Amino acid sequence: MSNILLIDDNAEIQTANRDYLTKQGFCVTCADTGIKALAYINENRYDCIVLDILLPDLDGYSICKAARTVTNTPILFLSCLEETDDKIKGLASGGDDYMTKPYSLKELTARINAMLRRGNSHDIPRGDFYIDHDNKIIHSMGKNVLLSEREFNLFILFYENPGRVFSKKEILNKIWYGNAEIGVVAVMVLKLRRKIEFAESVIGSIENTYGTGYRLTLPEKEGAMWEKYLR
């Protein structure tokens, strides 16, 4: 069942959308303010977000930009603003599609399904954890950690190969393409370890294998759950 977040301060529109989408088999959450919506986005995962622009506290463009710092979940703008410039602004702020009110509930459902089919390969869930590849942000335990490009590439190297030991030379060749001194590897690993250590219980820990290299060790209680994502 796909999870949909509806953000609209019009109670009638929100109720109509919620009831119809629920009948179509979606699990629907509603928010009537921007602050509430951002709290939901930060604390939960959704498969699609339907977003109004004119809200009582924050405008939809700002919400979309803020959401894009933590997720690549497809965002559909649903607004009474129908000028071309409004649509361009919505798409430029990170939206994936734009519909104007009034609209057909069947069309709304069709557009949501189309975005769900396209999927979202950039966010990779593992429990309370996901990765925003575009912005190089790791989200876990309610926090968002921004990594540098090399830190991010190093993390992905470990993340996609849990348990595998990488020698310093291997890491140097894969991350710096051999164009650096071997000593930078230990420094980068230490910096990355410090950035993600708050979420070791979810992500795992980067361990020194004493002379052979480094590896990511999964938390024991999460290992079985993570296996399905690593096949």
Predicted pLDDT at 230: 39
pTM over 0.75: no
In the three-class reduction of DSSP (H, G, I as helix; E, B as strand; rest coil), residue 103 is classed as coil
DSSP for residue 165: -
Predicted pLDDT at 54: 93
Which structural domains are found in the chain, ordered by start? 3-118 (3.40.50.2300), 129-230 (1.10.10.10)
Give percent helix, percent strand, percent coil of the chain, each to the nearest 5: 45, 20, 35
Q: Is there a cis peptide before residue 56, judged by omega within 30 degrees of 0? A: no
Residue for token pair 């928010």? 31
Q: How far apart are CA 231 and CA 216, in angstroms?
A: 17
Q: How far is CA 130 from CA 72, 73, 136, 156, in A?
A: 10, 11, 11, 12
Q: How far apart are CA 22 and CA 110, in angstroms?
A: 14
> What would the pLDDT profile of 106-144 be if each residue is shown by its tens digit?
999 999 998 887 654 444 444 457 777 777 888 777 677
